[in-house]
Amino acid sequence: MAALSWEHRRQKILDEINTNDADVVCLQEVEKEVFDEYFSVQLAYKGYKGVFWSRTRAKTMSAKDVKTVDGCATFYKHAKLILLDKQGIEFAGVAINRPDMKLQKDMFNRFMPRDHIGLLTFFENRYTGSRVLVGNTHIFWDPAYADVKLIQVAIFMQGINTFAEKYAKWPAQLNKRAFTLLDSEDKDEPEEPLPEPAPSKVYNSKTVLPLVLCTDLNSTVESGVYELLSKGSVSAEHRELRGFEYGDFSKYGIEHPFSIRSAYSNLDKGPDAMPFTNYTIDFRGVIDHIWYSTNSLENLSLLGRIDPEYMRTVPGFPNYHFPSDHIPIMAEFAFKGTKEKKVHTEPDFGTSSRRDRRD
């Protein structure tokens, strides 16, 4: 079927990215070869640069085989954002190096065979000086391994905690000049002058550093994974941890210090609540989230749900119009204390006209 061919699907994904024109784009389950030879090349024409991190098994494979290993990819508008740092978090590698987990049987029997990763990118806006830490991750899918998912996210958040502390003390960025068409000898007409860069923002602690997490959790809102991220902790007696041995995590529970919220939860009490982000013949649910730090960011708008009338005509995704079984989600944020005052103070979380169209 032509609609399921990779050539068609990758073009539809590219079209969606170009249409939405986000400053930062996070993709999961992207093969290295696809990142190197397709998305990086095509998105460069739209002003994006990309960062990629393969799943852990790539380290044990030949150069030829590594091309087929998937991972997380984060693209950003480099004329606007400076990449200050990037880090990969390899969950199994971190876990096996923890003294409290080395001799735990569930570590070897359940956790270690999964080679999922997280990708961190730390940005500064060239012109406002605002900084943001962006996390991108995809965790294990199997519902029979809820404990594994929870420990993967625990290690992800532990890594974010470590690097956020480092990034809160990151020195000011002095060179903020971006390459523009003015630098090209082939440019005939000068562009409009760029705004004067502002000094780098100063953050007095890791918990006030703006944080955005783009996550394929493969877990519903009733899961321990969602509870950990939204509430900041889960007990050692949590049903998904009870009876398993994961060192201090299963002995004392899991916690993180960040005040974060899933952006689409802002719609939950209204008529535009997101009914699903993953839609197949045998599963429909919200398992993808854009988390943001509520003390430093304000959620202004969201890409709305798919037209319900259209949904009555299809049994599931992917199809001709939607190239993945996951739909794209998108959020717009303002840094608190930096946005201009608006007449209307209530954010508009209505359905996006872009999402209602049927192509």
Q: List active site positions.
A: 216
Task: Specify the 3-state DSSP secondary structure of 118.
Answer: strand
Contact 10/321 with Cβ under 8 angstroms?
Answer: no
Q: What DSSP element (H or E) covers 198?
A: none
- CA angle 321–324–326, rounded 5-degree value: 110
C-alpha span between 242 and 245 (Å, rounded):
8
DSSP secondary structure string for all residues of 48-109: EEEEEEE-GGGGGS-HHHHTT-EEEEEEEETTTEEEEEEEEEEHHHHHHT-TTTTT-HHIII
- For residue 133, list its beta bridge partners: 122, 211
Task: Specify the 3-state DSSP secondary structure of 28.
Answer: strand
